[in-house]
Structure formats: C-alpha cells, structure tokens
C-alpha cells in the first residue's frame, strides 16, 4: 500500500513537471512567432519569461544530476535570449525615461533617440541571427533531455533538490545582510528568487514535502517587485553612462539635465536597495 502511494505521488509530481515544461514550450513557440513578425513589447517579455521558466527546470536538473550540462542542453536558445534581452532593455528604458521626463517636466529628446536607435540596432542583430539559424530547433534538445531526466528521477530527489535551491537563496540573503554594499548580491537574490518562484508554480503550494519552499517564498515575494524596479534602475544608469561617455560637460548644453537624471535614478536605486534590505531583515530576522 505504501509503495503504491509513493508511486502515485511520484507520478503526480512527474506529470506536473512534464506539463509545466510543455506549457513553456508552447508559450515560447507562440511568442517567438509574434516577436519575429512585429517585435511586440509584450511578446518579447513573454517569450523571455518562458525561457526563464525552462532555465529554472535546468537548474533543478543540475541539482538532480551533477553531470547535467545546462549550456549544452540550452544550445542556441542562450544566444537567442541574450539578443532578445537587448531589445527588451531598450524598450523598458524608453518607458522608464518617459516616466522621469513627466515627473521632472524635462525633455530628454537626445537620450530617447539614443535608446530608440539602440533598439533598432538590437532588432537588426536579432533578425540577422535568425537568418543564419532559420533551421535551428531552439527547444528540441532541451525538451527531450529534461523529459528523459525527469522520467528517471524519484520524487524524493526532486523535493530534496528544490529545498537545496531554497537553502542557496537564503544563504545569499544572509550574505547580503552581512555585506550590504555590493549590488551583486541583489542580482543573485533576484535570479534565485525567480528560479524558486518558477519552480513553486510547478507544484502544489500545499505540498507537505515542500513546506520551507512555500514559507520562504511568501516571505520574500514582497521584495520581488522592488527587485525588478531596482534592476531597471541599475540598467538605466549603465545606459546613461554609456550615452554620456563621449560628451564633455563643458561643451554639451544638455549635460545638466542628464546629470539630474543620473542623480534621480541613483537616489531611487539606493532607496530601493535599502528598502529591500530592510524588508528582508524584518521578514527573515
């Protein structure tokens, strides 16, 4: 009877994993077609989310089988994700710039044009890449490899692997609390939190085998949106510094406007950093 119940639990867990993988494959295919046709803002985002969710499954696979090679399994999908990320960054930054222009009541026309040109160049690189790889199956190898691996894995191993991911997330949070000056910690926490979030959506949130996963993510979920906004401001400052890199503040008439924009984005980024740390200290003690 016990063996029968264990087998039934494993089948349910396995089915959830495989169904989740299939769902992400379908989402990727649908949005990939839209992106190639129109470079739609939402489609780029949804296509990249599907890839991130599949990557979370690969992180799980690495815990289940140390010899698992994510880079080999991901194949051309990695380059596709990188190039689409450039388009996405340019689009997000245009939206963020519009918000600051409205708040400050200042025009940033030159920088807006810079971002639009960056987006056009990113689209051109993306389309050139697709022309070279039109026959590439971006997800075929990934789908087959993960399916084979999950079919050979016991449910207890899967539970253990997910809890290990939670331990890594908590360790990174505590490391950040000890060393609050390095943004690298927030980047890593954001990445690991998303991975754990994606994996949680595979399983029943009330699964008795994963109590720590659900409890931990509920505590950290509040920081998720703040981490996203913090990341956008981090990228914004990188773009701004690149834009101003060849402009001398004595000769460039609009320099003071962009200096103000740098100050405001820096202030917001710092505020978000401290708010995230404070929230995690309160929630996790």
- The 8-class DSSP code of residue 106 comes to -
- C-alpha 15: how far from chain center: 25
Report the alpha-carbon distance of residue 259 to residue 188 in Å, rounded. 29
More confident residue, 172 or 82: 82
What's the pLDDT tens digit per position in 30-79?
Answer: 999 888 888 898 999 999 999 999 998 998 898 888 888 888 888 888 98
More confident residue, 167 or 112: 112
Specify the pLDDT at position 172: 73
What's the pLDDT tens digit per position in 127-170?
Answer: 888 876 544 578 888 899 999 998 888 777 887 887 787 787 77
Specify the pLDDT at position 1: 39
Report the alpha-carbon distance of residue 52 to residue 46 in Å, rounded. 10
Helical H segments across the chain, by residue range: 2-38, 41-64, 70-74, 77-104, 109-132, 140-151, 155-178, 183-200, 211-220, 224-244, 255-284
Alpha-carbon dihedral angle through residues 31, 32, 36, 42, given to the nearest 10 degrees: 30
What are the b/e assignments for 36-49, b being 16+ CB within 10 Å? Answer: eeebeeebbbbbbb
More confident residue, 203 or 96: 96
What's the pLDDT tens digit per position in 11-30?
Answer: 777 888 899 999 999 999 99
Q: What is the pTM of this model?
A: 0.82
């Amino acid at each position: 009877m016990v063996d029968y119940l264990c087998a039934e639990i494993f089948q349910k867990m396995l089915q959830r994993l495989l169904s989740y993988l299939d769902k992400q494959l379908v989402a990727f295919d649908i949005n990939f077609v839209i992106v190639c046709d129109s470079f739609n803002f939402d489609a780029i985002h949804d296509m990249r989310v599907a890839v991130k969710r599949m990557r979370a499954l690969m992180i799980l696979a690495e815990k289940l089988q140390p010899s698992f090679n994510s880079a080999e399994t991901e194949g051309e999908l990695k380059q596709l994700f990188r190039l689409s990320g450039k388009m996405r960054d340019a689009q997000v930054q245009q939206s963020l710039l519009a918000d600051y222009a409205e708040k400050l009541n200042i025009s940033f026309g030159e920088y807006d044009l810079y971002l639009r040109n960056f987006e056009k160049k990113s689209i051109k690189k993306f389309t050139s890449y697709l022309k070279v790889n039109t026959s590439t199956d971006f997800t075929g190898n990934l789908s087959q490899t993960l399916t084979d691996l999950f079919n050979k894995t016991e449910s207890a191993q899967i539970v253990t692997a997910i809890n290990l991911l939670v331990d890594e997330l908590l360790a990174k949070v505590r490391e950040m609390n000890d060393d609050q000056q390095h943004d690298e910690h927030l980047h890593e926490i954001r990445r690991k939190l998303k991975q754990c979030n994606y994996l949680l959506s595979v399983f029943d949130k009330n699964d008795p085998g994963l109590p720590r996963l659900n409890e931990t993510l509920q505590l950290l979920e509040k920081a998720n949106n703040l981490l996203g906004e913090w990341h956008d401001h981090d990228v914004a400052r990188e773009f701004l510094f690149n834009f101003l890199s060849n402009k001398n503040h004595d000769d460039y008439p609009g320099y003071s406007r962009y200096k103000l924009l740098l100050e405001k984005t820096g202030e917001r980024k710092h505020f978000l950093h401290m708010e995230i740390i404070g929230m995690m200290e309160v929630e996790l003690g």
